[in-house]
A and B are shown apart, each in its own frame.
Chain A
Amino acid sequence: MTVDTLNEHESKLERLQLAAVLGLMIIGAMFIYSATMSGAVESQKLWYAQLWFRQIIWYALGIGAVVAVCSVSYHTLARWSFVIYWGMILCLVAVLIPHIGQTHNSGARRWIDLPFYQFQPSEFAKIAFVLAGANFLSRPPEELKRPDIFWKAIGLMALPFVLIKKEPDLGSALVLVPTGLVMMLVAGTPRKFIFRLVAVVGIVGVLFVADEVFAPPHWRIKIEEYQRQRLLVYFGRDFAAKDASEGDRQAAHRLQEDSSFQSKQALISVGSGGLLGAGWCEGKQTSLQFMPSGAAHNDFIFSVIAEEKGFVGSVTVLTLYAVVLFSGLRIAGQARDRLGKLIAVGVVTLLFSHVFVNIGMNIRIVPVTGIPLPLLSYGGSSVLCSLIALGLMQNVYIQRKGY
């Protein structure tokens, strides 16, 4: 009996991962319900118009997408990856143009309004980047030692990064960086290239943050004011300048309170959940609107779960993600070729970055960024992309070694 024959009896699909994904989807629908139904507006809508149900529809569409993605070999998809990549770049450019890109009162131009659907190209651009990157990096390892290839790979990552940051959506842009780096590492790009890159990116990043937080105004690199405020909140810095007048100081403090409100309330939600939580739909933070109703079902869905289900709930969510991620890595290990391995690793890193940043901002490990929690946060683009990414991984698994 060989390993090969054993695999014959195994499922075509990675079942454990799918079970974890299913669990996350159930939790997502439940807590979107909990986060939104305490509001008068939402609970008065017809059931099929309510957000939790719409999320379920997105899940269904996403599962459809998984089936579609799995029905074609990932090699075929990789062949089309540059077309997809450039298509998405085009969308990212288009979204920056007023009248095409919509702001939806958020101050950032991130959406293209289609009938029935607000399309968010940055989400899809992440998948496109993983696919294109994997395809580009799956060339023989010897070629990866060439600097021009290295710089091309960097360029592949930098182009969507710059466009997404331009929206502005710094959080979404930033998750491209670890994803790209890990894919390069696994592909076999010489370590010294990567370490140098990491060092440079790291030093520039630290200098940049320090500049924003500590430097006098005319020394600062210009970024959006709200992004700077988030950094100040994260580092616990006073908003008011040292030489500010009393009036300015008060205005600054008020602004500070407003800007730190979400992150403070998220922390209170998570912390007050305790070990077991208040119980499903019993969370006070959302029903009393301390957790703003626009954010609770979205980027801050984790705080709702943590408040209502406590540490046990948080760890359950964390465990489900761990299952998805590590089974993803196993898929990478079992992949038939480097392309498959890179796709799997790319998807795993992308998902992990989202999970880490999103949960991290709820407990103030990282500054607040508008990054959704895969599968749990409400949002069509996010759900579709997460499921397509998982579909790609399953696709790799289906065509794994010796199958």
Chain B
Amino acid sequence: MLVVDELKKNDPSLRLVALVLAGGLFILFVGLWWVQVVKTREYQVHREAQAYRTVRLPAIRGKILDREGRVLADNRARYNLCLYFDDLNDQFKKEYDQIRPVKISVVSPPFWKFWSNARTLQTNRVRLKTGEMDEVAVQARGNVVSRAVAELGRELGEPLTLDLKKFTRSYAEERAMPFTILQNLDETQIAKFQEKYTGGLGAQIVLEPEREYPNGTMAAHLLGETVRETEGESLANEDAFYNYRLPDYVGKTGIEGKYNNELHGRPGVANVLVNNMGYRISEDVDTPPQVGADVTLTVDLDLQRAAEDALANAIQNKYKGNEVNGAVVVMDVRTGDVLAMASWPVFDPNNFAQGWPAGEYEKFQESGAEKDRAISENYAPGSIFKTVVALAALDNGMNPGEKYHVEANPRNPHHGAYFFSPKNFKEDTAPPGDYDFLHAFIHSSNSYFMNAGLKYAGIENVVRVAQQFHLGERTGVFAGVQETHGHLPSLGAVRSGDWRAGNTANVCIGQGEVDVTPMQMAVMVSAIANSGAVLWPRLVEKITPQDFSSGIAETNFPDTQVRNRLTVRPRSLQILRDAMFYDVQGDEGSGRSAAIAGLNICAKTGTAQVQDEHNRLVGHNYWFASYAPAESPHYAIVAMLQSPTLGGSGGDNCGPVARDIYEAILKKEAAPKVVAKN
């Protein structure tokens, strides 16, 4: 071999040279082996890291559908006009060369043309320091982009100016990403751009999905708030780090918030190849995003609309001039399905997802529309709580036929009063006279029910029955999110020495130590209607994955989940139901304003005083808790209005709201079934 030959040569000097050569080449060989074979992984990672930028691609959010598959929350395409910096790079360079300082000097001819005397003028660039070069480069980029934006503005026929700050930030941090200069182009703008744009400005229309609620304010509280985040956090099961994140939607409240993980889908990853300057060279999708799952609600869009229209009609037309808010819950008493759930005032969830028009957000905050009054506020139930007292008293020996004499109020002889002692009495709104259970119920005699509570049931039994309805606990309709548990005194509290007869009397008429939500009342009425099954309300019927590669199975939430069965005697329930029937259908009933032909409605009305912390009267809660039809109960409707100024009774104010909804139910049941397209 060549090398060995040389080493064997009988010339010591040459042999030494050969040895050094062989050693040198061997060092290079080992070095290359080390760098290219042993450590190659390290360098490959390094190369990838400097040449690739990862981009988080948000998945398209799942839809929210009503029980018949009608869309409540959807996505639509939004078109943005964007600039790509990589396409402008050549122009940046050109502009840089044009605006950089130059020096003009006289140049002698080269020495081999020593005979020539022609001197020429030469324009030389001034040598710049690093800092100065940066300044010129920033200036050049600003010029080019400003011009491009202005030019695009001319093409679109509307003046556009560059937000220099936004551009600087975007160039520094997201150089490989499109830079948005105009959001949400309409069709005319898109058409104009396609017609007039000839290229060369790096402009492109980029599509992005936008969360949309096609029914506007409909079911706003139920659906919840979804906001667009650019600096969001990664989900639990995805990469934590990305170079860039595209804006993603995150549900904060309502169904959007509760089922955000399911609706959200799984984000994908794109790799953008960049050059040494950080400009985009090419781009490929590494992992495609997986579309989020659809969530089907138990809500019926028709009934939801009817409930909201009824509320709106009452508040905006009938009681115009009064400050009124309220809530409605419609429930299937057989299954616990929530068919409608409305709250007033309303907001438009599109504003959260798509951005607020000027001044709207302040209005929204002032209006208090963010509260879902069906579940997240405590309300004194007033007389509708008498249903609980009635069951407790009837079950403990009260004879419904026995007459109870209500004395007249010494201060107001047309009204009755309940006397704890000759000097200590509570005023009543019902007139004095003799009352049996039915009449006491439909006239809502406070004195009768205070007596029933104090003499027959006793506060402990009232609390026990209320506990069987799970009052004072969350109904679980949103599984704890945003829901309040109302208030009910514990058995311990009512047994303590602090508890007075006056407290019991207050509780017996749904005032004082008891607070409820319209949703709790719907569950309660449903239990009365279905002969004693206290149900878990169901709001979500199923979750249907759209991307089956995700491996997530469809989730069905079963209906008719019985939480508890009332232990009261069926006869007591029957007596209560009969009384509720006469409250609407009887001529003297407090709820007869809700009566409609063709449907037997059963109800209890209520009016509760709202007091501030100094026990001053600040307004009233008006209630109408009902179910229908009386023969085979199907629907429960609880309507609640609250106002500091509105007068009248629960029956007068809320009865018509419930009636409107029952009418819509009748109309819907009469109409031939239409299977909606998904």
Report the minimal beta-carbon distance from B317 to chain A, rounded to whole angstroms.
Answer: 68
Q: In the complex, identify which listed stretch (A147-155, A202-210, A306-314) lies at the interface while the others stay far away.
A: A306-314
Q: Answer yes or no: A26 CB below 8 A from chain B CBs.
A: no
The answer to whether the Cβ of A157 comes within 8 Å of any Cβ in the partner chain is no
| A63 located at the interface, meaning its Cβ lies under 8 Å from any Cβ of chain B in the complex | no
| Given known A99-B111, A100-B111, contact A270–B36 (CB-CB < 8 A) | yes
**Separation in Å of the A367 CB from the closest CB of chain B?**
14
**Cβ contact within 8 Å between A318 and B13:** no
B423 contacts the other chain (CB 8 A): no
Say whether B43 contacts A271, CB under 8 Å: yes
Does A160 interact with chain B (Cβ within 8 Å)? no
Q: Is the C-beta of B35 less than 8 angstroms from some C-beta in chain A?
A: yes
Q: Mark A237-281, 1 if CB is under 8 A from B, else 0.
A: 000000000000000001000100000000111111111000000
Q: Mark B616-659, 1 if CB is under 8 A from A, else 0.
A: 00000000000000000000000000000000000000000000
Are B18 and A326 interface neighbours, CB within 8 A?
A: yes
Give A277's nearest chain B residue, CB to CB. B36
Chain A positions 74 through 102: 1 when the CB is less than 8 Å from some CB of chain B, otherwise 0: 00000000000000000000000001100
CA–CA, A330 and B6, complex, Å: 6
Q: Do A345 and B14 form a contact, CB below 8 Å, given A289-B277, A318-B32, A329-B6?
A: yes
* Interface residue? A125 (CB, 8 A): no
Instruction: Report if A268-B32 is in contact (Cβ < 8 Å); known contacts: A321-B25, A330-B2.
Output: no
A349/B17 contact (C-beta < 8 A), A326-B3, A327-B2, A330-B5 known: yes
Cross-chain contact of B42 among A271, A318, A325, A329 (Cβ < 8 A): A271
Contact A270 B28 (CB under 8 A): no
Nearest-Cβ distance from residue A62 to partner chain B, whole angstroms: 23
Chain A, interface residues (CB within 8 Å), range:
35 or more
Interface window among B44-52, B383-391, B469-477, B507-515: B44-52
Q: A326-B3, A330-B6, A333-B6 are in contact. Are A360 and B14 (CB under 8 A)?
A: no
CA distance in complex: A329, B9 (Å): 10
Q: Would A267 and B35 be within 8 Å (CB), given that A345-B14, A348-B17 are in contact? A: yes
Q: In the complex the two chains form, is A274's CB within 8 Å of B36's CB?
A: yes
Q: Determine whether the beta carbon of A311 is less than 8 Å from that of B33.
A: yes
| A275 nearest CB neighbor, chain B only | B37
Q: Is the interface of B mostly helix, strand, loop or mixed?
A: helix
Known: A100-B111, A271-B39. A326 touches B6 (CB 8 A): yes
Interface membership of A288, Cβ < 8 A: yes
**Given contacts A99-B111, A274-B40, A326-B6, is CB(A186)–CB(B14) below 8 Å?**
yes
Kindly list chain B residues whose C-beta atoms are within 8 Å of the C-beta of A329.
6, 14, 17-18, 21
Report the minimal beta-carbon distance from B122 to chain A, rounded to whole angstroms: 13
**Closest residue on chain B to residue A97 by CB atoms:** B111
If A271-B39, A284-B47 touch, whether A363 touches B17 (CB-CB below 8 Å) is: no
Chain A hits for B112, CB < 8 A: 114-115
B interface residues with partner A (beta carbon < 8 Å): 2-3, 5-6, 9, 11, 13-14, 16-18, 21, 24-25, 27-29, 31-37, 39-40, 42-44, 46-47, 50-51, 108, 110-112, 130, 273-277, 281
Q: Interface of A with B (CB < 8 Å)?
A: 16, 99-100, 113-115, 182, 185-186, 188, 254, 258, 267-275, 284-285, 287-290, 306, 310-311, 314-315, 318, 321-323, 325-327, 329-330, 332-333, 341, 345, 348-349, 352, 355-356, 359-360, 363, 365
**Closest 5 CB pairs between A and B?**
A271-B43, A311-B36, A288-B275, A274-B40, A272-B47
